[in-house]
Structure 1
Amino acid sequence: MRLSLAHHSKVEDYTTSVSAFIRNWLQHREHILDSLLKNMEGMAYCCLVDAHWTMLFISDGCFDLTGYRPDELLHNGCTSFEELTLPEDRARIRNTVDDALSRRERFEIEYRIMTIDGQIRWVNERGTGIFNPQGQVEALEGFIQDITQRKLNEQALQEAERRYRNIFENSIEGIFQTSQDGQYINANPALARIYGYESPEELIQSLNNIAQQLYVQPESRQAFLTLMQLEDRVVNFESQIYRRDGSTIWISENARAVRNDAGKLLYFEGTVEDITERKSYNALIEYQATHDDLTGLPNRTLMQDRLLQAISYADRTASKLAVVFVDLDKFKDINDSMGHFIGDQLLIAMARRLESCIRDSDTVARPGGDEFVLLLSNIHGMDALSQTLQRVLALTSEPCSIEGKDFTVTSSIGISLYPDDGKTSETLLKNADTAMYKAKQEGKNNFQFYTRELNSILVERLEMEYQMRNALGHNEFHLHYQPKLNLRTQRITGVEALIRWHNPRQGLISPNRFIPIAEESSLIEQIGSWVLEKACMESIALSQLSGYDVPVSVNVSPRQFQQSNLVGNISRVLQETGLKPSLLELEITEGTLADTSPQFIKVLNDLKGLGIKLAIDDFGTGYSSLGYLKHFPIDNLKIDRSFVMGLESDTANQAILKAIVALGHNLGINLVAEGVETERQRDFLLSIGCDEMQGFLFSQPLPFDQAGKLLLAQDKLV
């Protein structure tokens, strides 16, 4: 089919247009290439493969890259490109290019150059060889680009990775990554050490079920996962875990959940710290805060908590609770005389004995001193409770061997019952203490249940103690003096100072009421000191009044005798009052002689060294230490009134008195009989050689003025 003239005309026009475009593009090709090269960040080049990489062509990007203009590098004008390259990179560059040319492949290499202003830049060079028809390389052409920033970024990343790896490898904390199903993905050496493995690899291979293999309590893993689900992290998650050898330690974990961009959980990562030492220390601190250091028993704090729990249990079960106060009799005497080590060992022994008397559900506590408290729960009858208390009495009274010596103490026990004797812990403890005080009054080594009458006794005791303190400051105490008489000459040989208390509200209070209370508190020391000073001053006054020396005897309580400064205090009083030491006699109760320690005997000798006299009071009622009298520097032995009363018809008392007098004379000790009230008593004592007497037969204790008048009526003492 013939084409129309119009169609032929269109084809010719198109062909003419394309030809014109090609001619135009060819004419401007060099301009276009120059424009492209100028707009590219980097330097295009063509160079010879010689020692200097002599440049035959360099694009304008040369200036931005090196600081040199292209004409300064062409044909090695100012310098060669070899000179711009850092010396330590040159051999590597040439080896890379030569290797690529030998295989007729493109090459790519990164190296450093130095710019005209001395800066070092990293560059990336990509190029290829230009070969002649004979296959020989004639030149190189390629493109060099500045990659300094990229290199710096890579170096920074590598440094960060190195630091992280260094931290990971050398951290003292364990670092881990674990899967959700309980397998270790990654672990550092510290974690391996904490868990007892030789290496992280061994740990990862060995532990494939964290919940069962690692945690002592498998539910700890579920608690870990629950926290992760709720918060995507755990903080200070503490748990006990097994080490490789089967031992257990405590750890603290801080971890987070790692998720991808879609929120899918990938793994957990975090740190582990061994807190076993801290846990042990905290446990020790908590134990020390709630337990007695010496015996390991619950202390007052824990006792209060246990008591509250026991009360709550008694309420729930409708049962009774017994609160038992146990006080060791005469413990203080042993502790003061034999030293605190013996006392401590005795307390430890008593604690173990008390523990053996009770059930596992009960409590033995030591709130302080020589007192123990038993909390006995679920009491349904008095028989079982009484058996327990009898067992306590029996065990505590058994001799305790310490350092080869036997020591014996007994116990006074007071009991209060919940809810009968109180509804609060404070009331129960107070009432048990009141009952214990009653047990002591009843002769010790027994137990007493609380009654309301006991409470009134305690109130009276506290009130009397308070009034005694006031009495010291208000001059309510006075001294009376009972003369001692020589049985042969019937003359006064001295006086015994006896304290009296005239209370403004109650009148005259018997020493039998207030002295025992003072003995149980520190008041006896203050009262004893007052009596000593007052007696010394009034002895001088009596001597001045009568015209001759009047010796005075002063009673010293066992508690006073245990004062470390007793000798010094007496020496001070003698100096301040001016009384001759030979006119002062200290009367010691027989029970004090139970202490035969070297320190006790030294105190006696030190007192004798002052020039004073020593007497044993109420002899025969306490220690019965006739065989030990030779150990003590005693001047006078005062025979207790119990041997004198009724001696007219009691042949046993007569025999005892004869033996005491005979032994005393054999030891060079003066004998004084107390409580002489009849002439027949006086005559019998005289007949067996007793030296002196005291008693109502001659005179009852007299106030200072009356004692002075009695002394004036006597002849001068022989």
Structure 2
Amino acid sequence: MKHMFERHIYYNVFFKLSSSCLNCPVIEEFRAGNSVRKYYRDLQNLKILALSFDPYCIHNTDKFVDSIKDVSDASCLLEDAESARDHERAMLMLDSLPICCGLFNNRLEMVDCNRATVNFFQCSGKIETCERIFEMFPERQPDGRLSSDAAFLELNKAFETGYNQVEWTFLLPDGSLVPAEVIIVKISCGDSDMLATYTRDLRHEKALRAAHDEANELIRLMFEAIPICCNLWDDQYNNIECNMEAVKLFDLSSKSEYLVRFFELSPEKQPCGEPSVSKAFRHIRQAFMSGYNRFEWMHKKLDGELIPAEVTLVRINRGDRYIVAGYTRDLRKEKLLKEAKEAALQAAQRDPLTRLYNKTTTQMMIEDTLVGPDSVGRHAIVCIDLDNFKAVNDKFGHLFGDQILVEISGIIKSAFRSDDIIGRFGGDEFIVFIRDVLDSDVVKAKLDLLCSKINKIYKLGDMEQTVSASIGVAFYPDDGKRYVDLYRNADFASYYAKKIGKNRYVFWKECMNKFTTKNDDDYGKII
């Protein structure tokens, strides 16, 4: 071994790890893959020499090649100390990296790695990791390629192009498969090229991606399961998605047809007269600004059938931007049900012949007004009793009589405001409740006009009959505060108008002292 200790000379020395040298501290350091700097005695010259050992494991063997240098000289020691510090810092940086790093020579053998690689592959040290790296693959990769062939193919590709990035599956000693991303970079090392590999464990990322995909699938299923038409608008007001309920609502063939032909699914103008396209964009813009918008909308199927709908727009987050979700509720059944209810209510509240309120409804509405907020005002009840009408039914029959009643009902409606209460009390008697009477002269003017319009000859074919009206008026609260009192007094006044000549109106104040009770015989004579 004396030639090994000549100063300032480098030697490449091969060691075989045999049982005869297991206790050699240098060999133990070799096993750990460490550079060794030890002080040994020169047995020939009886002095201490400082030697540097830098081992390198020969792949798939139990042999090591080592460079040995005599560093006893002070200048050499200083130079080597600086190199050692640089090497130590580099190794510290490499070992502190949170991803696996490896180094391959041009024979595609792994010659070094960092501590993260050792831990990742569950090995005892770097040497074991380098020796067993090609054992850490399943037989085949997920794409079906043989791992051994694919590994050499990808490494060679990096040597040819200088860079390669690939997804790879490793097989750890505990039997678990680990998906990873491997980046391979060609680097220069002295006179030769090597490959540096950087391996990133993708298990967490793929788990997150799988969870994300599952969440998206659940959202898609929920979106499709919503029992009303849904669609999505991006921030450029593009209709980007819909569910199958949207397709069904408009009897379309596919989602794409709905998305492409959306603005054909509304009439040119909405019931308010505004163009549908501009109004739609205005509503969408409002939803983006405020986060919420609800309104009624008139849609139209391609065959022309109108679909009244309620549309709700909700702004939602999508990554770093907003989108708007639209929910369209078909109101056709609701509108039909509402119309049916209104028709039933009309039938219950209205006189079937004249379509005026019937007696019960008229009384209820007047009583509600007298006890409600409007009770502080001044109102009037007007009782209208037709003159000579009994002769019409007796002489010409009810067909002619009904025609006269319908015509006179129209005259009465046209004489009063829409918020006044107008009802038919049965037979030839009508009642009007005039709200907010500020001046009695206004009531007189209305009744003068009403008497003149009712008083005329009514005809049906060859049949003719003159009909007029006797009218009585009572004021709230002057002539009574309860409905029964006001109606009784207005009725007395109409009776008195009929008694004194018909075709006129009388205020209760003008006749309040004329009668205390009604006499049925007098009524009969007057009629």
Query: What's the TM-score, normalizing by structure 2?
Result: 0.51
The answer as to whether partners of 1:174 and 1:187 remain within 8 angstroms in 2 is no
Match of 2:405 among 331, 336, 354: 354
Change (3 A) 1:356 1:257: same
Deviation by residue 1:583-638 (Cα, 9 ceiling, x = unmatched): xxxxxxxxxxxxxxxxxxxxxxxxxxxxxxxxxxxxxxxxxxxxxxxxxxxxxxxx
Q: 1:125: which partner in 2?
A: 182
Change (3 A) 1:22 1:159: farther
Change (3 A) 1:119 1:200: same
The answer as to whether partners of 2:267 and 2:300 remain within 8 angstroms in 1 is no
Letter in 2 for 1:144: T
Q: 2:326: which partner in 1?
A: 270
Query: 2: distance between equivalents of 1:350 and 1:60?
Result: 110
Deviation by residue 1:259-317 (Cα, 9 ceiling, x = unmatched): 9999xx987543322233334434544554455268365455478769999xxxxxxxx
Deviation by residue 1:536-572 (Cα, 9 ceiling, x = unmatched): xxxxxxxxxxxxxxxxxxxxxxxxxxxxxxxxxxxxx
Match of 1:157 among 212, 219, 222: 212
- Pairing of 1:192-211 with structure 2 (within 5 A): 192-194=247-249, 197-207=252-262
Greater relative contact order, per chain length (Cα 8 Å cut-off, separation 6+)? 2
Higher helix share: 1
Letter in 2 for 1:250: P
Q: 1:253: which partner in 2?
A: 311
Q: 1:699: which partner in 2?
A: none
Q: 1:188: which partner in 2?
A: 242
Q: 2:203: which partner in 1?
A: 148
Change (3 A) 1:224 1:387: farther
Query: 1: distance between equivalents of 2:150 and 2:401?
Result: 92
Letter in 1 for 2:456: Q
Query: 1: distance between equivalents of 2:268 and 2:111?
Result: 73
The answer as to whether partners of 1:126 and 1:142 remain within 8 angstroms in 2 is yes
The answer as to whether partners of 2:472 and 2:492 remain within 8 angstroms in 1 is no
Query: Is 1:43 matched with 2:112?
Result: no
Change (3 A) 1:100 1:68: closer
Match of 1:65 among 110, 120, 131: 120
Higher strand share: 2
Query: 1: distance between equivalents of 2:431 and 2:93?
Result: 102
Deviation by residue 1:361-388 (Cα, 9 ceiling, x = unmatched): 7189767887974659954153422338
Query: 2: distance between equivalents of 1:350 and 1:115?
Result: 103
Give, in angstroms, the shift of residue 146 of structure 1. Answer: 1.6
The answer as to whether partners of 2:288 and 2:315 remain within 8 angstroms in 1 is no
Q: 2:270: which partner in 1?
A: 215
Query: Is 1:91 matched with 2:145?
Result: yes
The answer as to whether partners of 1:212 and 1:218 remain within 8 angstroms in 2 is no
Give, in angstroms, the shift of residue 43 of structure 1. Answer: 2.2
Provide the secondary structure at the position in 2 that maps to 1:359.
helix
Query: 1: distance between equivalents of 2:182 and 2:452?
Result: 105
Change (3 A) 1:36 1:179: closer
Provide the secondary structure at the position in 1 that maps to 2:200.
strand
Give, in angstroms, the shift of residue 130 of structure 1. Answer: 11
Query: 2: distance between equivalents of 1:307 and 1:387?
Result: 34
Query: 1: distance between equivalents of 2:489 and 2:201?
Result: 95
Change (3 A) 1:216 1:114: farther
Provide the secondary structure at the position in 2 that maps to 1:91.
coil
Q: 1:12: which partner in 2?
A: none
Q: How many residues align structurally?
A: 390
Letter in 2 for 1:281: L
Change (3 A) 1:287 1:174: same
Query: What's the TM-score, normalizing by structure 1?
Result: 0.40
Change (3 A) 1:367 1:292: farther
Give, in angstroms, the shift of residue 39 of structure 1. Answer: 0.7
Query: 2: distance between equivalents of 1:230 and 1:60?
Result: 52
Query: 2: distance between equivalents of 1:365 and 1:62?
Result: 94
Query: 2: distance between equivalents of 1:459 and 1:99?
Result: 120
Letter in 1 for 2:199: I
Query: 1: distance between equivalents of 2:143 and 2:242?
Result: 37
Change (3 A) 1:139 1:222: closer
Match of 1:175 among 224, 230, 233: 230
- Pairing of 1:521-536 with structure 2 (within 5 A): none
Query: Is 1:81 matched with 2:136?
Result: yes
Letter in 2 for 1:188: C
Change (3 A) 1:33 1:180: closer
Give, in angstroms, the shift of residue 170 of structure 1. Answer: 4.8
Letter in 2 for 1:232: S
Query: 2: distance between equivalents of 1:25 and 1:234?
Result: 69
Match of 1:238 among 278, 292, 296: 296
Letter in 1 for 2:311: E
Change (3 A) 1:158 1:287: same
Give, in angstroms, the shift of residue 69 of structure 1. Answer: 3.0
Q: 1:13: which partner in 2?
A: none
Query: 2: distance between equivalents of 1:114 and 1:164?
Result: 34
Letter in 1 for 2:409: I
Provide the secondary structure at the position in 2 that maps to 1:213.
coil
Query: 2: distance between equivalents of 1:72 and 1:217?
Result: 81
Query: 2: distance between equivalents of 1:62 and 1:199?
Result: 52
The answer as to whether partners of 1:434 and 1:450 remain within 8 angstroms in 2 is no
Match of 2:451 among 382, 393, 417: 382
